[in-house]
Amino acid sequence: MFNIRCILGSSAKCWISLPVCRQQIRMCTVPHPVAALCQVTATPDKEANFSACKQLVEDAKEQGASMVFLPEGFDFIGSSREETLSLSESLAGDTVSRYTQLARKLEVWLSLGGFHERGPDWETDRRIYNSHIIINDKGDIVSVYRKSHLFDVELPEKGVSLKESGFTIPGPTLVSPVQTPIGKVGLGICYDLRFPELSVALQRHGAEILTYPSAFTVATGAAHWEVLLRARAIETQCFVLAAAQVGRHHKKRSSYGHALVVDPWGEVLGDCGGEKPGVMLVKIDLEKVSSTRRNMPVQQHRRDNGFYQSLEKT
């Protein structure tokens, strides 16, 4: 059995035990970097959100994590467009500053999975980016990815109605995978998960780990969350780490939870469940990436881009 430490809330602790093959047993007998995935319930209260996230980061560091992943909307989840815009900040604002100080103090890398960043023309258009920020253990911002695909979905039969583009600017480009203590990490955010072109592009540029910090709705999460994460892992032969929002944020919105770790073969290594905030720790064995790609060399079998576009010409 392979044990993943999962700390739920501020005190209760549990172990997730999963059957594994011999290769994964070897993961536990040699030192490998530890990643921590956080599951939180953000509200419009930014101070309370920071306090809760800070505690999870400190718990993760104490348990040996070298990189901690926070979900989309870690800073806050507003109850209206007006509240969301009023609570937003620039990268130079107080929220990001507090996290850079925390990373430097604890000497831990942070993935801040979806920050409400005021756009370049904020004073005139009052629009924001949904930004994924990577901070190193010196407290430096080393990468910022701005969400490419915006969640504009109407599912009346499921009670889902969100239009992210109403106040959010789509990011202009992907960013190169980031070399971190746990491996080379490719950045996405939530709805990006539904676009395999993004994950394949990141893999082609060297990603060993893909991360999709999210705030999936309950309806879409129950239907698609795990299968999409497993699909992205299988097709790229990467680890996939997905921190998540969970529970009720305010009277208008709830999130699915189930922060997940998937290995390059598509096996789910850990799941934080759909009830409570917490943090899950997992050892990252990059040999699993190498061996999976060596034994099934999918990327070598991929045809050039022109081949896949040829259908459009016929």
Q: What sign for the dihedral angle of Cα 34, 147, 77, 91?
A: positive
Question: Cα–Cα distance between 147 and 61 in angstroms, integer?
Answer: 27
Q: How far is CA 264 from CA 28, 232, 261, 267, 279, in A?
A: 17, 9, 10, 7, 21
Task: Choose among 184, 178, 202, 164: nearest CA to 290.
Answer: 184
Task: Choose among 91, 87, 92: nearest CA to 77.
Answer: 87
Q: Indicate if 190 belongs to the active site.
A: yes
One of 53, 61, 72, 288 is an active-site residue; which one?
72
Q: How far is CA 59 from CA 56, 74, 144, in A?
A: 5, 17, 25
Long-range CB pairs of 266-273 (<8 Å, 24+ gap) are 266/230, 266/231, 266/233, 266/234, 268/18, 268/226, 268/230, 269/2, 269/4, 269/18, 270/4, 270/6, 270/16, 270/18, 270/37, 271/16, 272/6, 272/8, 272/37, 272/39, 272/244, 272/246, 273/8, 273/246
Question: Cα–Cα distance between 308 and 204 in angstroms, integer?
Answer: 16
Q: Indicate if 58 belongs to the active site.
A: no
* Helix, coil or strand: residue 227: helix
One of 6, 38, 53, 190 is an active-site residue; which one?
190
230 within 8 A of 266, measured Cβ to Cβ: yes
Q: Indicate if 287 belongs to the active site.
A: no
One of 6, 89, 147, 238 is an active-site residue; which one?
147
Catalytic residue numbers read: 72, 147, 190
